[in-house]
Amino acid sequence: MQDTPDQTPDPDPAPAPAADPAPGDPRDPLDPHVLTGLDLPPERLRAVAAAFADIRAAIEELRALDLGETHPAVVFQPWRGPR
Amino acid sequence: MTAPGDPTRATIGELSALLRAGRLSPVELLDALTDRIRREDGRLAAFVHLSETARAAAERAHAEIAAGDWKGPLHGIPIAIKDNHTTADMPTRAGSAAPGTDYPLADAHAVARLRSAGAIPFAKTRMHEFAWGMETPPTRNPRDPSCSPGGSSGGSAAAVAAGLAPAALGSDTGGSIRIPASLCGCVGFKPSFGLIGRSGIVPHSWSLDHAGPIAASVGDAALVAGAMAGPDPADPGSLGVAAPDWSEALAGGAGGLRVGVCRTHFFEDLVPAVGDRVEAAIAALARAGARVTEFALPEIGQGLGAIFAIELASSTNYHDRRLREGAVAGFGADVRLLVEMGRLVSGADYLQAERFRRHLAERLAPVFDAVDVIVGPTMPLTAWRSGETEIRIGGRAESIVAVSWRLTYPWNLLGLPAISLPCGIDGAGLPVGLQIAGPVLGEAQVLRAAAAAERALGGPMQRVAAPA
């Protein structure tokens, strides 16, 4: 029997290095349009982000609160049909 | 009792007695209101539609009452409806002129309940687009036409304050009933989350939206809210309970009432006249027999990020198809911006906000072991000039939008009953609102305290003429 090279695929291959996308390329996973899902011109997107700045600050304070093991106020309940 | 010749100045309680006694007919009442609206609303801009079927309903009510078939205190009373409640006989636009925002010609649950109680929905009132704002342009404040009536139920409050509707419906996601009621000198009442069903009300934020009335007195607000409340199978948030009879609570007085005053958050950075009038109202309640207890709860002031996260994410999700299709380009600039902004809120932020709501409720619960109600200002300020965007409080410039809901949104996060009633005027003659909140389904004690405060302060604030 002739020896053959092992053809078993590597079960955990390292990701291939991605080519740097061109700036503004919507396939870029870090592109703001991809991140926000907002199909807006760049200047409009900048305006939305700028207007969000004060709200972002308030939400960052919310994120910083240690709420321990508190469950959310709105929780899932299985639907039992119309009441 | 107000003379039948001046029905547009009477309370619902007074009108009901006149109608039942046959001294005023529902048709005369409706005609008096619609005549005034046609003459005066060009300047006030509180209404967007008048019903073409209301007069026939008034004629039916007249015949029923004359035949002894009296349905109760709202029988024959015209009620104006905020433009985000769908109605069978009037179009609904939710304050938007954007294409693709048509809603069914069918009564919202609360509107249907009012019709069953004999009330006559007779007009739709102007609102800030999709309930996403505090101004309701171009509606003017009847107390000073250069000022904003507030929002988002600004048309409803302006209509009631000007005597163009005995009461009007509103919706309240962060203060949209209580804010315009405070600025226009009316009573605005938001019962517990889910007591009034919301099916047929254009959603803004499902877990924050409340429905309720704006009226000229605490008693009138209780009458309308009681008729609106009840199980709503089409609203997943409905509590499924009917409203009890609140008449005993309204007459209960302040004697022995345990009034809590939270000095954190609710009394910080107020316009001086607001602080003065609210302190005077608390003192009046104490003189009337209430036991006043002060307390602090730092968490009550930490909810801004939570309500922003929930309201933005919910509104954007509701409008998501319009956002994807570019239809939001037809929205007003301010509302379009907010709907687009909601995409910047993460799922984790939303859940942190929901966890904060539970945390805040757990921290507040022991307070309601010690007090029946919590009393403070409805807003840190009085009505601002239309178009103004900043105000200076304590030497610091602040956004009016940010200031205006600071004291109302905690009760939306908590889903607790809250009412605003006038407690005086500032140096410019503009009303100051007193806010009273209670525990879940604690409407009776909220209304008892509000009615006691109203009496202690000399009765309901008089309505004014629409601006000339």
User: Which residue ranges form the domains of chain B, and what is each CATH number?
Assistant: 7-456 (3.90.1300.10)
Decide which of B279 and A30 is more confident.
Answer: B279
With cut-offs at 50, 70 and 90, classify the pLDDT of residue A57.
Answer: very high
Mutate one of B334, B359, B403, B411 to test the A interface: name it (highest A CB count within 10 A): B359
String of b and e for B117-132 (b: at least 16 CB within 10 Å)?
Answer: bbbbbbbbbbbbbbbb
Cis peptide before B138 (omega within 30 of 0): yes
Res A4: pLDDT: 47
CA B176 distance to own-chain centroid: 6
Element (H, E) at B337: helix B333-341
Res A11: pLDDT: 57
Mutate one of B132, B208, B304 to test the A interface: name it (highest A CB count within 10 A): B304
Crossing angle of helices B304-318 and B333-341, in 10° steps, is: 100
Is residue A62 classed exposed, middle or buried when 0-12, 13-18 and 19+ CB atoms within 10 A define those classes? buried
Catalytic residue, from B25, B152, B192, B217: name it: B152
Of A59, A65, A71, the CB nearest to B358: A71
Catalytic residue, from B82, B192, B315, B420: name it: B82
Q: What is the ipTM of this complex?
A: 0.92
| β-bridge partners, B213 | B169
B337 contacts on A by Cβ (under 8 Å): 47-48, 51
Separation between Cα atoms, residue B339 and residue B343, nearest integer Å: 8
* Contact: A38, B359; criterion CB under 8 Å: no
Of A52, A61, A74, the CB nearest to B207: A74
Separation between Cα atoms, residue B79 and residue B371, nearest integer Å: 34
Residues near B331 by beta carbon (within 8 Å), at least 6 away in sequence: B96, B98, B129, B130, B339
Separation between Cα atoms, residue B260 and residue B177, nearest integer Å: 22
The tokens for B344 are 């910047």
B390: contact with A, CB 8 A cutoff: no
B354 contacts on A by Cβ (under 8 Å): 72-74
* Contact: B353, A39; criterion CB under 8 Å: no
With cut-offs at 50, 70 and 90, classify the pLDDT of residue A76.
Answer: confident
B351: contact with A, CB 8 A cutoff: yes
B308 contacts on A by Cβ (under 8 Å): 55, 58-59
With cut-offs at 50, 70 and 90, classify the pLDDT of residue A2.
Answer: very low
> What pLDDT tens digit does each residue of chain B (468 aa) get?
444 567 889 999 999 999 999 999 999 999 999 999 999 999 999 999 999 999 999 999 999 999 999 999 999 999 999 999 999 999 999 999 998 788 999 999 999 999 999 999 999 999 999 999 999 999 999 999 999 999 999 999 999 999 999 999 999 999 999 999 999 999 999 999 999 999 999 999 999 999 999 999 999 999 999 999 999 999 999 999 988 899 999 999 999 999 999 998 999 999 999 999 999 999 999 999 999 999 999 999 999 999 999 999 999 999 999 999 999 999 999 999 999 999 999 999 999 999 999 999 999 999 999 999 999 999 999 999 999 999 998 888 999 988 999 999 999 999 999 999 999 999 999 999 999 999 999 999 999 999 999 999 999 999 998 777
A/B interface, count of CB pairs below 8 Å: 83
Catalytic status, residue B71: no
Residues B457, B284 contacting (CB under 8 angstroms): yes
Separation between Cα atoms, residue B409 and residue B412, nearest integer Å: 5
Separation between Cα atoms, residue B428 and residue B430, nearest integer Å: 6
B306: contact with A, CB 8 A cutoff: yes
Separation between Cα atoms, residue B441 and residue B11, nearest integer Å: 26
